[in-house]
Structure 1
Amino acid sequence: MKLWGGRFQKETDKIMNSFNSSISFDYRLYEEDIVGSMAHAKMLCSIGILNEQELEAIINGLNEILEGIKNGEVELSEAAEDIHMNVETLLTAKIGEVGKKLHTGRSRNDQVALDLRMYLKKEVLNLKKLIVKLEKVIFTLGRENMHTIMPGYTHLQKAQPINFCHHLLAYAEMFKRDYERLTDCYKRMDYMPLGSGALATTTYNLDRYMVMELLGFSDVTLNSLDGVSDRDFAIELNSCLSLIAMHLSRFSEEIILWCTTEFGYIELDDAYSTGSSIMPQKKNPDVAELVRGKCGRVYGNLITLLTMMKGLPLAYNKDMQEDKEAIFDSVDNVKICLEIFANMLATIKVNKDRMRKSAGEGFTNATDGADYLVKKGMPFRDAHEVMGKLVFYSIAKDKSLEELTIEEFKSFSSIFDEDIYDALDLSNCVERRRVIGGPSTSSLRIQLDELDAFIKKAE
């Protein structure tokens, strides 16, 4: 029998039951629903709606249901529609008429808003831990590769020499921002909506602040209409997850490129690669490819949530049932992506010699040649033109800049002297970039120290 069936004279159509039911996905809110119900019951007792014996029966019953669901001993029913009505039905069956008092002063509208906030608050903390785990891997790998010269790119064309540590720490900055966004998102999620009722609170003298404290929220929602109809917190979290997924996708794209024969900068561990059913030589970067692919899925969930909410009048509408599958899917996928990507990255083999050799190709030190001329007194635009002509000449002669003779250099400008070779040395090119944020050892130490401090503070 439906808990809301008093006004209805016909049984719900079977297809309607299935279409209307959300238990297939909101079952995962069972712990939050039960813990929230316990807090609500304690508050009802404090204002005289329940007596101590009734409260004890409800709390004991809810604890038994919680353990039963955890242990797989309790079967949830599609006919009961959602996790809230499943719990209430199970409780009433277990402890009798007292169970029917639990829903006093609340609605499923404020109940689901509470459960979802509680669940997502917990998941935000899990996500932050996974970001810290990834940052630890980046820190360790970066520290090991402070002197691993590689080409830096713009437009996917070799640009200037950097080192692998510098490249890795760029992603560390992205994930630090992701961590901070989750922290900020959590603040706006941390408002307790229970007591909003269906839309207009209730005539019972509920103590919302008591429930807030019992459930560990920082404050209560201020407007009951907003309390039941707000899903900004889910949309904002999905937005944060989209940025995390985007950063992982960019990193994955580089992993995929770096482990090709054409680049050969890294080799993936066998545990995080797959083979081909037809080509025996293949070693495919499936982890990185799947991470890259799941980014689009997270984006899609964000659009789902935004579109779901864009035309809804106040207050609650059944459309909002669609929020859970989208945000649950995003949370699940970003969590597994963060975890497996960190594991994959921790096991890569870095081909340092290949990286350095590649940095020596493509005239990545041409800018340093121009800087050399500027320091000798030549205007930068003139220096830029001289080095551009030298690059064109070197291509024609099939030489690198370092392979040119001093006579060849001087044929383009008398300013050149023997110290040009020192200026063009790749290690020197990197080490002379001592500006904060650059790839020099001194700058990298600052960046690594900052990352280390971030990790320690976050743990």
Structure 2
Amino acid sequence: MKKLWGGRFKKGMHPVLKCFSYSLYVDYQLLESELEIDIAWAKMLGRTGLLTKSESAKLVRSLASLMRELIPSDPHDKLPKAWLQDYEDVHTLIQSRLEKKAGSLGKKIHTGRSRNDLVVASTRLWARKKLSEIQKKILVFQKSLLSAAARSRDLKIAGMTHFRKAQPVLLAHHFLAYLEMIEEDRARLAAAMARLDLLVLGSAALAGTSLPIDQKFLARELGYSKIVTNSMAAVSDRAFMTEIVSGLAILWMHLSRLAEDFILWNSEYLGFIEIDDAFATGSSLMPHKKNPDVFELIRGRASVIFGHLQTLLVLQKGLPLTYQRDLQEDKPAFFDSVNKTGLALDVLSLTLNGVTFNAEALKRSVEEDALYATDLLEYLVEKKIPFSEAHEAVGRAMRFAIDHRRPLESLGLHEFRRFSKAFGADVYNLFNETVSVTAKRTKGSTHPERVRAQIKQWRIRLDAH
């Protein structure tokens, strides 16, 4: 295969260098986006007189034919092995196949542009499509979280701090917390997606081109509202990729936290949930095992995405303007981050929809009377005891119960009154998870009415998308 360069070289590329530098096995993912750009480019060349109308029309037909031939119906289909050996990159593949269809006319498709601006344009177009898909998948996942909240709205769980029991909360409140986090992730990615709205074609290698390239036409054809204002920035900056992967990394951080919760809840030690058999795996040795692999893989793959973000940051550190071949290494990290995220959201949504809750185990989690220490403190505060004094009194009562190996709730009223005269007979009403959650008043709290209102508001918000 003839390269897109080589006139000044006396020798062909050494086979070892081919193996080292060829990138089609990665950048083939840009195939569809680049063909779309090529079709718009061929039309533009005809409009500006760089091609005749008939030449432009022939190139458009040939490119449309290539689109049908080269884009696999199954995205999991592998590239023919010969392609990986014959073509340097996706640009060379398209150029070669186009010349076979359109003859020497195919050589004119590269008029006025460089691989430098073409690869950025193709990557931006690919990212715009993929992020649009991810936004839809996030919405589906959010609806799965909302469904879990609705299904569990009457169940209480021991809320944790420092991985120790803290206070009773509604399980639905827990799911809504993740829903809030994921919504911020969605907004971050939407902002990154908005910054993809920029046509970089016309930047050429770095300085632009003297040829009459109609950038406004290209922007309309490809759906961009803005045109690049600095060609050097356009071909050299990969901040748009870094920003997207940064947003994905934060999303994965939240997914990994959710995964850890589910792994713990699924353990025999807690037994709060049951995972559908379709989303669990077994052991090759131990017949009884049912493993939460979906959540473990989410937790593990988060580290891969974090690594990809680090790759993109370090790759660009200290890189002088403009394009450097180092930037070929941006695509494996970028593509993998985006592709893994879409699949993870799909499987998490399905897995979450199949989770069932063990009401008895959840009930047991809120039976420990230490969970109600804060309720006792606030009870005293409402009786006009200074906060620090109330805190001290409840702490001393807890210490007394621990020292005597007794539940706090078993203390007699006279014993409670040793620590504060403000304790009355109604103190025993506080050792109840329903009383505890309904006592909360603040907006965003775990009060059942607040949580029901949140569920209703989220349903309206998500249905509006």
SS of 1:365's equivalent in the other structure is: helix
**Paired residue for 1:415?**
422
**Paired residue for 2:355?**
348
CA deviations over 1:88-125 (Å, ceiling 9, x no partner): 11111111111111111111110000000000111111
Q: Distance in 2 between matches of 1:77 and 1:251?
A: 40
1:28 counterpart = 2:18: no
Deviation at 1:397, TM superposition (A): 4.0
1:300 counterpart = 2:307: yes
Matches within 5 A, 1:178-193: 178-193=185-200
Is 240-249 or 374-383 further displaced after alignment? 374-383
In structure 1, what residue type is equivalent to 2:367? G
Q: Distance in 2 between matches of 1:349 and 1:155?
A: 26
**Paired residue for 1:42?**
43
**Paired residue for 2:214?**
207
Q: Distance in 1 between matches of 2:390 and 2:35?
A: 72
SS of 1:102's equivalent in the other structure is: helix
**Paired residue for 2:126?**
119
Q: Distance in 2 between matches of 1:398 and 1:261?
A: 27
**Paired residue for 2:244?**
237
How many residues matched? 458
Q: Distance in 2 between matches of 1:163 and 1:453?
A: 21
**Paired residue for 2:235?**
228
Deviation at 1:77, TM superposition (A): 5.0
Q: Distance in 2 between matches of 1:356 and 1:136?
A: 26
1:361 counterpart = 2:368: yes
Q: Distance in 1 between matches of 2:371 and 2:64?
A: 66
SS of 1:152's equivalent in the other structure is: strand
CA deviations over 1:202-229 (Å, ceiling 9, x no partner): 1112111110110011211110001111
CA contact (8 A) 1:434 1:442 kept: no
CA contact (8 A) 2:369 2:409 kept: no
In structure 1, what residue type is equivalent to 2:95? E
Is 35-44 or 71-80 further displaced after alignment? 71-80
Q: Distance in 2 between matches of 1:129 and 1:163?
A: 28
Deviation at 1:53, TM superposition (A): 1.0
**Paired residue for 2:316?**
309
CA deviations over 1:357-381 (Å, ceiling 9, x no partner): 2112161111000111111121111
Q: CA RMSD in A?
A: 1.6
Matches within 5 A, 1:128-167: 128-167=135-174
1:277 counterpart = 2:278: no
Deviation at 1:422, TM superposition (A): 2.2
Q: Distance in 1 between matches of 2:197 and 2:54?
A: 32
Q: Distance in 1 between matches of 2:435 and 2:389?
A: 23
Q: Distance in 2 between matches of 1:43 and 1:403?
A: 84
SS of 1:192's equivalent in the other structure is: coil
SS of 2:425's equivalent in the other structure is: coil
1:99 counterpart = 2:100: no
In structure 2, what residue type is equivalent to 1:145? S
Is 274-283 or 376-385 further displaced after alignment? 274-283
Q: Distance in 2 between matches of 1:97 and 1:397?
A: 94
SS of 1:219's equivalent in the other structure is: coil
Q: Distance in 2 between matches of 1:350 and 1:108?
A: 54
SS of 2:166's equivalent in the other structure is: strand
1:332 counterpart = 2:353: no
Deviation at 1:232, TM superposition (A): 0.5
SS of 1:159's equivalent in the other structure is: strand
Q: Distance in 2 between matches of 1:399 and 1:68?
A: 77
CA deviations over 1:217-256 (Å, ceiling 9, x no partner): 1211110001111110100001011001100101111111
In structure 2, what residue type is equivalent to 1:22? S
1:442 counterpart = 2:440: no
Deviation at 1:396, TM superposition (A): 3.5
Q: Distance in 1 between matches of 2:275 and 2:407?
A: 31
SS of 2:310's equivalent in the other structure is: helix
CA contact (8 A) 2:249 2:302 kept: yes
CA contact (8 A) 1:17 1:79 kept: no
SS of 2:301's equivalent in the other structure is: helix
In structure 2, what residue type is equivalent to 1:358? S
CA deviations over 1:312-341 (Å, ceiling 9, x no partner): 111111111111101111111121211111
Is 336-345 or 166-175 further displaced after alignment? 336-345
Query: So what's the TM-score if we normalise by structure 2?
Result: 0.95
CA deviations over 1:189-209 (Å, ceiling 9, x no partner): 221111100001111121111
CA contact (8 A) 2:25 2:84 kept: no
CA contact (8 A) 2:369 2:408 kept: no
SS of 2:195's equivalent in the other structure is: helix
SS of 1:5's equivalent in the other structure is: coil
Is 139-148 or 165-174 further displaced after alignment? 139-148
SS of 2:110's equivalent in the other structure is: coil
Structure 2 counterpart of 1:427, from 434, 441, 444: 434
CA contact (8 A) 1:124 1:182 kept: yes
CA deviations over 1:29-78 (Å, ceiling 9, x no partner): 11100000111111111111111211111011111111111247995353
CA deviations over 1:125-164 (Å, ceiling 9, x no partner): 1111111111101111101222211111110010111110
Deviation at 1:28, TM superposition (A): 1.1
CA contact (8 A) 1:44 1:206 kept: yes
**Paired residue for 1:88?**
95
**Paired residue for 1:377?**
384
The unaligned stretches of length 5 or more in structure 1 are none
CA deviations over 1:400-457 (Å, ceiling 9, x no partner): 3333333332333332222112233211110111210100022113322332233123
CA contact (8 A) 1:246 1:295 kept: yes
1:392 counterpart = 2:393: no
CA contact (8 A) 1:77 1:86 kept: no
CA contact (8 A) 1:268 1:285 kept: yes
